[in-house]
Amino acid sequence: MEGGKQAHADLRSALVREVKRLAEGHTHSRVPQSDLISLTRTKIEPMVRGLFSRAEQELVLAALEKSVVVVTQESIESIILEHDHDGSAWTLANLYLGSVDAGLLAHDAERLVGLSEETTCYVTPEAFQEEPFADFVVHEAAHVFHNCKRRTVGLPETRTKEWLLDIEYRKRETFAYSCETYARIIDRATSAAERRALAEDYGRDVRITDERVDPDEVAGIVMEAASVRNGWKIIHARCAPPRRVTRTSASTTRPSPTRSPIRERALGDPPLGLTAVVERA
């Protein structure tokens, strides 16, 4: 047992060494100086208030505002050493390497800007740069809703309500992209007419390269959301699973929920990658 633990610690240390070697001479963009918790709260508050009842909003906000971890030169070592899962440590190492524009741990690994796991959102400093229609913090926080059980944040569970939000498995990215785009639109617009105009602008020039998402579908959802008072409800409704008849039928259609294979995790085979790093190290 002790020997196994030591071998495991050695693997992670080797991963840290390899990450430092690859990142040498590279730097990431500036980390926001302001209080991260209040910055996160500002970004996610409209979404939480639009999606949850008044009685539930404060508990959801309290969980989400503390959920963001910025992966930086200063934090990457402890993130790698302390994460429970080898695959995630490997993925987060790549997230960091991508943010400093260094070589990744595998030549075919995807460049990422964020990773959402249960109630934790890992983002790179570039997630805080202002974009017209993109907000990675909102995107990753939106994934928390379908990854996190109600009881985890202190809300009661019922027979039909186990997760913060039920999102159809294949619509999870559609949901997250729609949320981040809509969040930017309501932040920028000062009137209902301006919301619709911005949604039209977005629809004319959708730039989503994620192959799991139909950009036209996202544009359509955002357009519909921008046309009503509470667009968050539209986004949720259009990404929710079809109405379920019984608990049994629902459980057969829900894939393993605890860790979602979203864009942020589409990295080939992380545990094998970790082995490869260690062999080279």
Minimum gap (Å) between residue 154 Cβ and Zn ion: 25
| Closer of 171 and 263 to Zn ion (Cβ) | 263
222 neighbors 182 (Cβ within 8 angstroms): yes
Q: Burial letters for 251-269: b for 16+ Cβ neighbours within 10 Å, e otherwise?
A: eeeeeeeeebebbbbebee
| Closer of 79 and 134 to Zn ion (Cβ) | 134
HSE (side-chain half, CA atoms, 13 Å) at 235: 29
133 neighbors 202 (Cβ within 8 angstroms): yes
| Closer of 102 and 262 to Zn ion (Cβ) | 262
Minimum gap (Å) between residue 266 Cβ and Zn ion: 10
**The dihedral sign for the CA sequence 11, 262, 100, 66:** negative
Minimum gap (Å) between residue 184 Cβ and Zn ion: 16
Q: Residue 210: which of 157, 165, 265 has the closest Cα?
A: 265
| Closer of 19 and 123 to Zn ion (Cβ) | 123
| Closer of 238 and 263 to Zn ion (Cβ) | 263
Minimum gap (Å) between residue 176 Cβ and Zn ion: 4
Rule CB under 5 A: which residues touch Zn ion?
176, 262-263
Minimum gap (Å) between residue 99 Cβ and Zn ion: 16
* Residue written as token pair 């974009």: 131
| Strand-pair partners of 70 | 123
